[in-house]
């Protein structure tokens, strides 16, 4: 065997090692990217919740919100418009968080969105408000909301079931 053939075989071997190394590196990068995307879903849920709280607590939005939850039919036209916009703000951000969490397979964020849906939809007001507006939302989110309507608020049960699935 000539030296040129030996160098050719050595070059092929080094090339194969480099390719294996590249594939391992790319796999690690994809794994890290997926982990960051899942953390992003959790951050988005927190940010959306905090932004809604901030809007709700500014000016007299909280009074309109509470009045609308308790006595939606007694709202003035201006109050009803503001309540409707607050509700759309809440549900648009909740839907975006839900769809992102489902896409990423982030079950904890999905269970937290379920808690938000159960908490915010406890009264008759939400069901009355939701019915004519449900068509503006993504069908998967509509199913999720309607599956969670009327369910108890026990967030610990949802977290415990996730922990059991991990074990």
Residue whose token pair is 């839900």 = 98
Residue whose token pair is 């992003």 = 40
pLDDT tens for each residue of 98-130? 888 888 788 888 888 888 888 877 766 787 888
**What average pLDDT does range 50-76 have in this prediction?**
84
pLDDT confidence bin for 160, thresholds 50/70/90? low
pLDDT for 143 equals 94
**What average pLDDT does range 85-91 have in this prediction?**
88
Domain coordinates in residue numbering, the chain: 36-166
Tell me the whole-structure pTM to 2 decimals.
0.64
């Amino acid at each position: 065997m000539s030296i040129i053939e030996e160098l050719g075989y050595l070059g092929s071997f080094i090339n194969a090692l480099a390719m294996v190394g590249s594939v391992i590196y790319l796999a690690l990068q994809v794994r890290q990217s997926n982990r960051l995307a899942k953390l992003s879903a959790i951050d988005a849920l927190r940010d959306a919740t905090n932004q809604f709280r901030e809007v709700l607590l500014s000016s007299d939005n909280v009074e309109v919100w509470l009045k609308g939850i308790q006595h939606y039919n007694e709202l003035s036209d201006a109050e009803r418009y503001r309540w409707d916009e607050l509700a759309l703000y809440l549900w648009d951000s909740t839907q975006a968080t839900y769809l992102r969490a489902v896409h990423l397979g982030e079950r904890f964020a999905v269970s937290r969105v379920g808690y938000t849906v159960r908490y915010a939809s406890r009264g008759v007001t939400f069901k009355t408000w939701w019915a004519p507006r449900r068509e503006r939302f993504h069908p998967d989110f509509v199913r999720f909301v309607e599956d969670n309507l009327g369910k108890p608020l026990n967030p610990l049960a949802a977290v415990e079931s996730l922990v059991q699935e991990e074990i």
